[in-house]
Amino acid sequence: MTVTLAQALNSALHDAMTDDDRVLVLGEDVGRLGGVFRITDGLRDTFGVRRCFDTPLAESGIIGTAIGLAMYGFRPVPELQFDGFSYPAFEQIVSHLAKLRNRSRGTLRLPVTIRIPYGGGIGAVEHHSESPETYWVHTAGLKVVTPATPQDGYSLLREAIASDDPVVFLEPKRRYWSRGEAELPARTEPMHRAVVRRPGRDVSVLCYGPMLATALEAAEAAEARGWSLEVVDLRSLSPLDTDTITASVRRTGRAVVVHEAPRTLGMGAEVAARIQEAAFYHLEAPVLRVTGFDTPYPAAMLEEYWLPDVDRLLDAVERSLTY
């Protein structure tokens, strides 16, 4: 059957709450409304106001409260409504959620999964299209994952909720309504494993979240030009599956990293650094980055000029092949 990413995520929440009555959903508009993207649709009716509840409009409050609930013994799944509104919760995430276990010498567990719709491409107003993943990846104590397909949406969210460590779960909002074949409940590869989505010989394209569809489209177009792209979906941004990444680059000898987030100190910088550390002699060309610009996310009418697309990606592929 075909399901959307949004439906898969909703099913994952539903099933996680059914299987474990310590799982709680909280956030702005997650109750009555079912979330502004309807990811929590029906959970309040099914599980009641104690298991899925609306909070006052305060993101630091949502995460700080989730931390306390986790310290009590619950398994909270807070939603931060948009990427750009995760920043008010920055201190609670960075100073406490990520650090309390280490601070307490391993006596506290913080099984909190923070769901954040992220990325652009939906024609939104400012603050609704950001890619903040580097902030979380740079923070020791967090795990960061992002699904690109409905199957992975289900499977990764179930694994994230079952994890005893805090997980930042980034949902590519422009792919919420993309359909994919999925039998739910789906179990895909383990949470922190990268996956080769399309095997190829000439260039490794390393991507995640919203950019997987772009990379697969580019690979299709590249085929017509006689270029064989291998598309690797990172899935887990922290920890990074360096082995799968470098194995691919050893096969192809070339690597292009693609993400929406701005270039400087984005995931591409880390991936490129790891590739040259682990596979230097296999490289036929420098590792290239295809990213958003180092400017603030633009107004909606300009986002198509800002976001990486098939053309920008193929341009980098060509530069790599002709280096």
Interface with other proteins (CB under 8 A): 24, 44-45, 48-50, 53-56, 58, 60-61, 63-74, 76, 88, 91-92, 95-96, 99-109, 140-141, 143, 163-165, 192, 236, 238-241
Asked if residues 107 and 31 have their Cβ atoms less than 8 Å apart, the reply is: no
Of 140 and 302, which has the nearer Cβ to other proteins?
A: 140
The SS3 assignment for 81 reads: coil
CA–CA dist 217, 220 (Å, integer): 5
Whether 128 is catalytic: yes
Q: Taking the complex as a whole, how short is the minimal distance between the CB of residue 242 and other proteins, in angstroms?
A: 8
Secondary element (H or E) of residue 108: none
DSSP secondary structure code for residue 201 in this structure: S
Q: Judge if the upstream peptide bond of residue 286 is cis by omega within 30 degrees of 0.
A: no
Of 48 and 123, which has the nearer Cβ to other proteins?
A: 48
Of 107 and 322, which has the nearer Cβ to other proteins?
A: 107
Provide the pairing of β-strand 23-27 with 52-54: parallel
- In degrees, to the nearest 5, what angle opens at C-alpha 287 toward C-alphas 282 and 293? 170
Asked if residues 172 and 122 have their Cβ atoms less than 8 Å apart, the reply is: no
Catalytic residue of the set 128, 138, 259, 282 = 128
Q: Taking the complex as a whole, how short is the minimal distance between the CB of residue 253 and other proteins, in angstroms?
A: 23
Residue 236 backbone phi and psi in degrees, to 5:
-110, 120
DSSP secondary structure code for residue 188 in this structure: -
Asked if residues 52 and 30 have their Cβ atoms less than 8 Å apart, the reply is: yes
Provide the pairing of β-strand 229-233 with 195-198: antiparallel
Number of Cβ within 10 Å of residue 68's Cβ equals 11
- In degrees, to the nearest 5, what angle opens at C-alpha 308 toward C-alphas 283 and 86? 110
Cα atoms found within 13 Å of the Cα of residue 57, Cβ hemisphere only: 3
Q: Taking the complex as a whole, how short is the minimal distance between the CB of residue 207 and other proteins, in angstroms?
A: 19
Q: Taking the complex as a whole, how short is the minimal distance between the CB of residue 152 and other proteins, in angstroms?
A: 17
CA–CA dist 112, 99 (Å, integer): 13
Q: Taking the complex as a whole, how short is the minimal distance between the CB of residue 99 and other proteins, in angstroms?
A: 8
Q: Taking the complex as a whole, how short is the minimal distance between the CB of residue 57 and other proteins, in angstroms?
A: 9
CA–CA dist 141, 184 (Å, integer): 30
Q: Taking the complex as a whole, how short is the minimal distance between the CB of residue 38 and other proteins, in angstroms?
A: 18
Asked if residues 159 and 190 have their Cβ atoms less than 8 Å apart, the reply is: yes
Catalytic residues: 128
